[in-house]
Structure 1
Amino acid sequence: MREIVVVSGKGGTGKTTVCAAFAAQAHARGQKAVLCDLDVDVPDMHILLNPQVQQREVFISGNTARINPELCTACGRCAELCRFDAINLVDGVYSIDELACEGCGVCHKLCPAQAVEFPDRRCGVWYVSDTRLGPFVHAQLDPGQENSGRLVALLKRQAREKATTLGAELVLCDGSPGVGCPVISSLSGAALAVAVVEPTPSGRHDFGRVAELCAHFRIPVAVLINKADLNAEECARIRTMIEEGGHHLLGELPFSPLVTQAMVRRQALTEQTSALAEILAAAWERACALAAQPERRGITKTL
């Protein structure tokens, strides 16, 4: 089983569009693949796939302190101890701002009256669904919640288990944007990272950061330049970066209204015949070949 993760230096580069197009190609070619949306903060792949939920689970991560007013003696010890200014005092009554609380547990452990409860924190929901393009693992963090890296690791684990159960040869992931904790978790154990890059100075800079991160984890990088015809000079600079970095150029996508039209139909680009679909089909074939190459030594262990 191989894992391909589509990444980008920032949001809005076309990462989900490319991932959905790849998923449609895999389905059309009879490749068994499990799909996974790892952009848990702002997921959108479900919009194109119209998933039918088969399993729904609450994502629990950490704890949140709460003051039981019936036990609280208003001694103020919790406010003295809290380093995050999460304790509020209004009309002599203490309460805890759950958005400010970091769940360290100090107030819970050291409250003289044992008035601070410490229940599990619900941070979101994750799903296993069926779609027209195959099994789909996805999630949604609740507003204001963190620990997205941990949720990403959970989704990857579920996707791998699903792939093993079904005998699927591929796990195809729509990764998180940027280079932070969720992206590191997204890339863990990947055979190939497909970077979607825009030909702008910021796009080139963001690609450099993503490429550096992948190099750290010894994950090969393949690149799709999106809207390549809008800036020939920057496109040339990105090609130079790809060559000098030893990366692989999968293709160059021109700017096209077909992308928006496919979104409105809630379809992947490769579900209809077009010049864009041909480029993406060739890119998918190349990506599969790169992902099938022997594993490299020294890759970090899976989370």
Structure 2
Amino acid sequence: MKQLAIVSGKGGTGKTTLSSSFGALLSPVVLADCDVDAANLNLMFNGKLEEKYDYYGGKKAIIDQDKCDKCGICKKVCRFEAINFENNIYEVDPYACEGCNACVIACPQNAISLETALSGEYYYSVIDEQKEIVHANLNPGEETSGGLVAEVRKLALKKAEEKGKDIVLIDGAPGIGCPATSSITATNYVIIVTEPTSSGLHDLKRIVETVRHFRREFGVVINKYDLNPDVSKQIENYCLSDNIEILGKIPFDELVEKSNLEMKPIVLYENSIAGKAIKEIFEKVMEKLK
């Protein structure tokens, strides 16, 4: 079984556009949307929900009102201002609580405890007989996205083994944080999507360092390269100087906006110049996976 991850050093580079296109071109395949903070890959395929799982990540403080003597020490020690005093009752705001344990230690009445909290959900949906997708939704304010990404990938691998699928396609989380690293570990190949902007080049260098840290084989795709030829050239020069393969360059295409509005992968539009470029990149990557 092969695992192919598509990532980016920053958001908004066109990572999901490429992921949805690869998902449309691959068959059979199990898709894994690991951008759990803003999951949208399933919208491009309209999969039918088959299974739903709760994800318990971090812990939250809970105040036992029967033990609480209203001393207010917990509110004073909370650095996140997560404890409110209203109607003569101290209560914890679950969206602000970081589970740091300070209030638990400080409470003289042992009225506060940390309990595992529901941090989100993850799902298994069927697109058609050849395609399935695992996706997730992290609750607002939660910081355990890396753990949820791991659950998404485990379920995707499980389904691929059960259904006899040879490829798991991962739409990774952007950036270089925990969800991003959780998206690329143990993959067979990583595609890094960048854009011709100063921030795009800066964050490309960071994600390259991250992928190299995990010793994954990778290549770079420059999206909308023709919008800023000067910066595109800087990206090409950087890749050339650092022995990084450029898998391809995708031109700006107004049809991409239409594809997003109609929730269809861009490669399904016959007249799309971006779709044509992506198909060429796809063929090159498939040869590498062989």
Residue pair 1:220, 1:247 contacting (<8 A) in 2 also: no
Residue pair 2:80, 2:98 contacting (<8 A) in 1 also: yes
1:83–1:205 CA distance, 2 compared to 1 (3 A): closer
| Residue pairs, 1:1-303, within 5 angstroms | 1-27=1-27, 32-79=28-75, 82=78, 84-90=80-86, 92-105=88-101, 107-108=103-104, 111-132=107-128, 134-274=131-271, 275-292=273-290
- Cα root mean square deviation, aligned: 2.0
Residue pair 2:95, 2:140 contacting (<8 A) in 1 also: no
In 2, Cα distance between equivalents of 1:150 and 1:3: 18
In 2, Cα distance between equivalents of 1:94 and 1:119: 17
Deviation at 1:108, TM superposition (A): 4.3
1:261–1:79 CA distance, 2 compared to 1 (3 A): closer
| Residue identity opposite 1:60 in structure 2 | Y
Residue pair 2:29, 2:167 contacting (<8 A) in 1 also: yes
In 2, Cα distance between equivalents of 1:231 and 1:82: 48
Three-state SS of the structure 2 residue aligned to 1:229 is helix
Residue pair 2:226, 2:252 contacting (<8 A) in 1 also: yes
Deviation at 1:128, TM superposition (A): 0.6
In 1, Cα distance between equivalents of 2:117 and 2:264: 36
In 2, Cα distance between equivalents of 1:67 and 1:134: 46
Q: Which moved more, 1:106-115 or 1:205-214?
A: 106-115
Deviation at 1:232, TM superposition (A): 1.6
Three-state SS of the structure 2 residue aligned to 1:39 is coil
Ranges in structure 1 where 5+ consecutive residues have no aligned partner: 293-303
Q: Deviations 1:186-226 (Å, cap 9, x if unpaired)? A: 11111111111111222111111111111111112211111
Residue identity (%): 36
Ranges in structure 2 where 5+ consecutive residues have no aligned partner: none
Matched pairs, number: 288
Q: TM-score if structure 1 supplies the norm length?
A: 0.88
In 1, Cα distance between equivalents of 2:103 and 2:234: 54
| Residue identity opposite 1:230 in structure 2 | L
Three-state SS of the structure 1 residue aligned to 2:26 is helix
Deviation at 1:114, TM superposition (A): 4.2
Deviation at 1:93, TM superposition (A): 2.9
Q: TM-score if structure 2 supplies the norm length?
A: 0.91
Residue pair 1:223, 1:248 contacting (<8 A) in 2 also: yes
1:87–1:262 CA distance, 2 compared to 1 (3 A): closer
In 2, Cα distance between equivalents of 1:218 and 1:258: 36
Q: Deviations 1:117-142 (Å, cap 9, x if unpaired)? A: 54320111110101146110000111
